[in-house]
Structure 1
Amino acid sequence: MKTCLLLAGCGALVAFGAASAQAETLREALITAYQQNPTLNAARAAQRATDEGVPISLADGRPSSQVQAQYTENFLNPANAFTAPERSLNGSINLTVPVYSGGSVRNGIKAAKTRVGAGQADLRGTEAAVFSNVVAAYMDVMRDEAIVSLRLQNVGALETNLQASSDRFEIGDLTRTDVAQSDARLAIAQSDLQTAEANLIRSKEIYIQLVGNAPGQLEPPPPLPNLPDGPESAVDTALDDNPDVIAARERVEASKFDVKAARGARLPQVALFTQGNYQNFLGTLGSSLINANFIQQQSSAAGGVQLTVPVYQGGRPGAQIRRAQALSGQAMEQEIATERDVIAQTRGAFASYRAAMQVIAASQVAVDSNALALEGVRAENSVGNRTVLDILDAERELLNAQVQLVTARRNAYVAGFTLLAAMGKAEARDLGLDGGILYDPSVNYDRVRRKINDWASDEDPTAQSTRTVDTPAQDAALIGPPAN
Structure 2
Amino acid sequence: MLGGIAVRRLLAGSALIHCETQASAETLREALLKAYATNPTITAQRAQQRATDENVPIARASGLPSVNASAGYTEYLLTASNNFVSPGRQATASANVSVPIYTGGLVRNSVAAAKTRVDGGRAQLRGTESDLFTNVVAAYMDVIRDEAIVGLNTQNVRVLDVNLQASRDRFQVGDLTRTDVAQSEARLALARAQLQSAQAQLITSRETYVRLVGTPAGILETPPTLPHLPGNPQLAVETALQNNPFLLAAAKESDATRYDIGVARANRLPRLSAVGGPSYYNYLGSYNTSGSGTTNAGTAAQAGLSLSVPLFQGGRPAAQVRQAEALRGRAIENVTATERNVIAQARSAYAVWRSSEQVIQSSETAVNANKLSLEGVRAENSVGTRTILDILNAEQELLNSQVTLVTARRDAYVAGFALLAAMGEAEARDLGLDGGVLYDPVANYNRVHHRIGDFGGDGEPAPVATRTVQSPAQDAVVRRPQDELLDSPVDRTPNLTTGAASPNRQ
TM score, norm. by length of structure 2: 0.91
How far 1:99 moved relative to its partner?
Answer: 1.0
Moved more, 418-427 or 468-477: 468-477
3-state DSSP of counterpart to 1:460: coil
Q: Give the residue type in structure 2 aligned to 1:375.
A: E
Deviation sequence 1:19-61 (CA, Å, 0-9, x none) = 8342100000000000000000000000000000111111111
**2:318 equivalent in structure 1:** 318
Q: Is 2:97 the counterpart of 1:88?
A: no
Q: Is 2:119 the counterpart of 1:133?
A: no
Contact 2:12–2:29 at 8 Å: present in 1 too?
no
How far 1:225 moved relative to its partner?
Answer: 2.5
Q: In structure 2, which of residues 153, 156, 165 is the aligned counterpart of residue 151 of structure 1?
A: 153
Whole-angstrom CA distance in 1 between matches of 2:34 and 2:11:
20
Q: Is 2:225 the counterpart of 1:226?
A: no
Q: Give the residue type in structure 2 aligned to 1:155.
A: V
Deviation sequence 1:389-446 (CA, Å, 0-9, x none) = 1111000000000000000000000000011000101000111112442111011011
3-state DSSP of counterpart to 2:431: coil
Whole-angstrom CA distance in 1 between matches of 2:146 and 2:75:
81
Whole-angstrom CA distance in 1 between matches of 2:389 and 2:82:
120
Whole-angstrom CA distance in 1 between matches of 2:447 and 2:335:
30
Q: Is 2:240 the counterpart of 1:238?
A: yes
3-state DSSP of counterpart to 2:4: coil
**2:353 equivalent in structure 1:** 353
**2:395 equivalent in structure 1:** 395
Whole-angstrom CA distance in 1 between matches of 2:281 and 2:199:
83
**2:362 equivalent in structure 1:** 362
Q: Give the residue type in structure 2 aligned to 1:355.
A: S
Deviation sequence 1:296-324 (CA, Å, 0-9, x none) = 11211111122222211221211111111
Q: In structure 2, which of residues 166, 171, 178 is the aligned counterpart of residue 169 of structure 1?
A: 171
**2:440 equivalent in structure 1:** 440
Q: Give the residue type in structure 1 aligned to 2:341.
A: D
TM score, norm. by length of structure 1: 0.95
Whole-angstrom CA distance in 2 between matches of 1:430 and 1:8:
11
Whole-angstrom CA distance in 1 between matches of 2:215 and 2:464:
15
Whole-angstrom CA distance in 2 between matches of 1:311 and 1:246:
41
Whole-angstrom CA distance in 1 between matches of 2:8 and 2:144:
17
Q: In structure 2, which of residues 121, 124, 145 is the aligned counterpart of residue 122 of structure 1?
A: 124
Deviation sequence 1:132-179 (CA, Å, 0-9, x none) = 100000000000000000000000001111111111111111111111
Whole-angstrom CA distance in 1 between matches of 2:361 and 2:233:
21
Structure 1 portions without partners, runs of 5+: 13-18
Deviation sequence 1:318-351 (CA, Å, 0-9, x none) = 1111111111111001111100111111111111
Whole-angstrom CA distance in 1 between matches of 2:272 and 2:263:
16
**1:16 equivalent in structure 2:** none
Give the superposed CA RMSD: 1.7
Q: Is 2:453 the counterpart of 1:453?
A: yes
**2:309 equivalent in structure 1:** 309
**Percent of residue pairs identical:** 56
**2:465 equivalent in structure 1:** 465
Contact 2:12–2:432 at 8 Å: present in 1 too?
no
3-state DSSP of counterpart to 1:430: helix
Whole-angstrom CA distance in 2 between matches of 1:166 and 1:405:
33
Contact 1:286–1:293 at 8 Å: present in 2 too?
no
3-state DSSP of counterpart to 1:277: strand
3-state DSSP of counterpart to 1:476: coil
**1:205 equivalent in structure 2:** 207
Shift in CA distance, 380/218, structure 1 to aligned 2, threshold 3 Å: same
Whole-angstrom CA distance in 1 between matches of 2:400 and 2:112:
60
Moved more, 379-388 or 403-412: 379-388
Moved more, 110-119 or 451-460: 451-460
Contact 2:11–2:29 at 8 Å: present in 1 too?
no
Contact 1:63–1:98 at 8 Å: present in 2 too?
yes
3-state DSSP of counterpart to 1:474: coil
Contact 1:271–1:306 at 8 Å: present in 2 too?
yes
Moved more, 234-243 or 278-287: 278-287
Q: In structure 2, which of residues 33, 36, 39 is the aligned counterpart of residue 37 of structure 1?
A: 39
Deviation sequence 1:70-104 (CA, Å, 0-9, x none) = 12233344444433333221111011111111111
Q: Give the residue type in structure 2 aligned to 1:338.
A: T
How far 1:294 moved relative to its partner?
Answer: 5.1
How far 1:293 moved relative to its partner?
Answer: 7.1
Q: Give the residue type in structure 2 aligned to 1:244.
A: F
Whole-angstrom CA distance in 2 between matches of 1:286 and 1:211:
81
**1:179 equivalent in structure 2:** 181
Whole-angstrom CA distance in 1 between matches of 2:13 and 2:461:
43
Whole-angstrom CA distance in 2 between matches of 1:113 and 1:8:
36
How far 1:5 moved relative to its partner?
Answer: 2.7
Q: Give the residue type in structure 2 aligned to 1:92.
A: S
Whole-angstrom CA distance in 2 between matches of 1:59 and 1:478:
60
State how 1:265-284 maps to structure 2 within 5 Å: 265-284=267-286
**1:214 equivalent in structure 2:** 216
Moved more, 58-67 or 454-463: 454-463
Contact 1:6–1:27 at 8 Å: present in 2 too?
no
How far 1:482 moved relative to its partner?
Answer: 2.9
3-state DSSP of counterpart to 2:267: helix
Whole-angstrom CA distance in 2 between matches of 1:471 and 1:254:
44
How far 1:457 moved relative to its partner?
Answer: 1.6
Whole-angstrom CA distance in 1 between matches of 2:398 and 2:294:
112
**1:247 equivalent in structure 2:** 249
**2:429 equivalent in structure 1:** 429
**1:376 equivalent in structure 2:** 376
Contact 1:207–1:215 at 8 Å: present in 2 too?
yes
**1:330 equivalent in structure 2:** 330
Whole-angstrom CA distance in 1 between matches of 2:79 and 2:199:
89
State how 1:16-35 maps to structure 2 within 5 Å: 20-35=22-37
Contact 1:349–1:416 at 8 Å: present in 2 too?
yes
**1:103 equivalent in structure 2:** 105
Q: Is 2:454 the counterpart of 1:479?
A: no
**1:189 equivalent in structure 2:** 191
3-state DSSP of counterpart to 1:173: coil
Q: Give the residue type in structure 2 aligned to 1:159.
A: D
Shift in CA distance, 54/271, structure 1 to aligned 2, threshold 3 Å: same
Shift in CA distance, 10/107, structure 1 to aligned 2, threshold 3 Å: closer
Q: Give the residue type in structure 2 aligned to 1:224.
A: L
Contact 1:204–1:474 at 8 Å: present in 2 too?
yes
Shift in CA distance, 220/319, structure 1 to aligned 2, threshold 3 Å: same
How far 1:213 moved relative to its partner?
Answer: 0.7
